[in-house]
Chains A and B, each alone.
Chain A
């Protein structure tokens, strides 16, 4: 590993969803942490097969939504009751009733932004370069092929044994990927 500082990892391709799923379970059971499955669509149950924990995106959504709701109420109170009070028909200057529709829409708006920003942050997107895109057949990852890539940064990574592992679990075109 030390003498191959430029190696990003080893990458193997799989033909079917079932094959990559079983292979992923084996890689997980070997104890690897820095590795990934690349697939043209989300595979049902793959998170479990890879041992990925639940996504943290909902936290961002909650923060966005709460900001929208309380921010909306605060904005309306400030504008219509505090900074320039507009008396209408002797009604209270501020009421959560009339502030609700706008606050509700702002809740959804900012929660949606939260979900998307959260997804982009957690995935570190946009990322227009990634070593895994160097594999010769990786274009098919957006079509009909599945890949497993084990990164050299994983403590268990060793070029020979990892190659052997990927071949044993059914991977073809096992390729070394340069960083």
Chain B
């Protein structure tokens, strides 16, 4: 495979023009698949007869999502006492779950926006599913801040609408920044996802057999016909959206971390929070992308589109961000000691050796130790192993938020007001239900919308290059 440009004059060029070996680029689509093959493969997922496993998963996830519905109804009709919250821990699972789900979403935007700006072409086969994951994760995340306000019927006070006393919201509060950050994030992610999907919806429209499908895909494809004059504006808009989503995704978790960092609680009041939260968010998000994509890859036989190279890339990002998170844990301890603040030092010793030490060490094991396995090629090449490590990452990142939220609150300044927090069954079931909601939405996406960005994948194949064929002229 390795070929040097000129082999004729090796002797002369050896000293003068010693070049590094040109390593062949990894193929993004294996087996030289044609455009038509890509269309058939991706559209086939939507057009085939609904598989049995889909129905089974659909009903199970639909049933599980009822837990959240029931938990929410019980909460609103009874009051926040149905949760385990009490002084001093007034932020419990609701906030943990909110930060967890928002974090999951970040990998989708990273893949679609940041990797687009960095011209990482391997993103094309995973970005659609990852963006879908982002949107559904934001849906799950959005439930919690809404219901944890206690009196849900006053949630509209968060929006810039004057309330009954003509008082406006208080814009100095990070909680209000959060409202704007998360709602902007949800909206822009949805728009980005939809705009990216327009050409693929046109493909589905052109292939649709029934009238209903023609109308559905036709409506959402907006009459897209692949005109190059359209592509020109479209690509510009897509690039701009990528450029906008990049600072957005970095700001969202930064603002989420401000909810903590702007307070005065030991363990929260640190400047490391924004970068540390963003790295953790991307880490957890990639864990979830792999958790979803590896089973889909084997169910639908997508090995030529999601190649070992893609898995390698995702594992390496997981490893890199996981290491950043590990570094942040270490530096938090160092600063707690170096800062010579008794409360801060205590908060950290309490995290590692206090009543919540079990949660802390689960977090360390899952987030710091388990991704280090991705240093080994043998691990990255074993999808089952990768999947298991990613499950650990998902668990670990939930525990990270639990550790941050609960340990700091349970033992702050005054020992007289210390406490131990435990969730109630309602807490647990409401959270479990969000996995049902997430899976339910993802299954619908799988069945009705193109799982992969066909137009983008085609554009990165060799035959899409106008100079690929012999008839294509010179470079």
* Chain A residues within 8 Å of B, Cβ to Cβ: 16-22, 36-47, 50, 52, 54-58, 61, 75-76, 79-80, 83-84, 86, 88, 91, 98-99, 101-102, 104-106, 108-109, 111-113, 115-116, 118-120, 122-123, 125-130, 132-133, 138-139, 141-144
Contact = CB atoms under 8 A, between A and B. Distances in A.
Contact of B184 (A75, A83, A84, A109): A109
A79 B173 CA distance: 14
Interface string B169-201: 111101011001100100110011001000100
A116 B248 CA distance: 16
7 contacts: A55-B236, A102-B176, A108-B247, A109-B188, A141-B226, A142-B203, A144-B39
A40 B467 contact: no
Given A75-B160, A80-B168, A109-B188, A127 B455 contact: no
Nearest to A50: B228
B184 A108 contact: yes
Contacts of B191: 112-113, 116
B233 interface: yes
B466 interface: yes
Interface of B: 34-36, 39, 160, 162, 166-172, 174, 176-177, 180-181, 184, 187-188, 191-192, 195, 199, 202-203, 205-207, 218, 222-237, 240-241, 244-245, 247-248, 251, 255, 258, 454-456, 458-459, 463-469, 471-473
B244 A88 contact: no
Nearest to B469: A18
Instruction: Give the interface SS of chain A, mostly helix, strand, loop or mixed.
Output: helix
A132 B225 CA distance: 8
Contact of A79 (B171, B232, B459): B171
Contacts of A76: 171
Closest 8 CB pairs of A and B: A18-B472, A144-B35, A79-B168, A119-B237, A126-B222, A55-B236, A21-B466, A37-B228
A108 B188 contact: yes
Nearest to A79: B168
A113 B205 CA distance: 25
A21 B468 CA distance: 11
B268 to A, nearest CB: 18
Contact of A125 (B176, B230, B255, B468): B230
Given A18-B469, A122-B233, 7 more contacts: A22-B471, A58-B240, A86-B172, A105-B251, A106-B180, A109-B184, A123-B234
B445 to A, nearest CB: 20
B2 to A, nearest CB: 26
Given A19-B471, A57-B237, A41 B464 contact: yes
B404 to A, nearest CB: 20
Contacts of A19: 469, 471-472
A37 B231 CA distance: 10
A50 B230 CA distance: 13
A22 B7 CA distance: 32
Given A61-B240, A122-B233, A84 B168 contact: yes
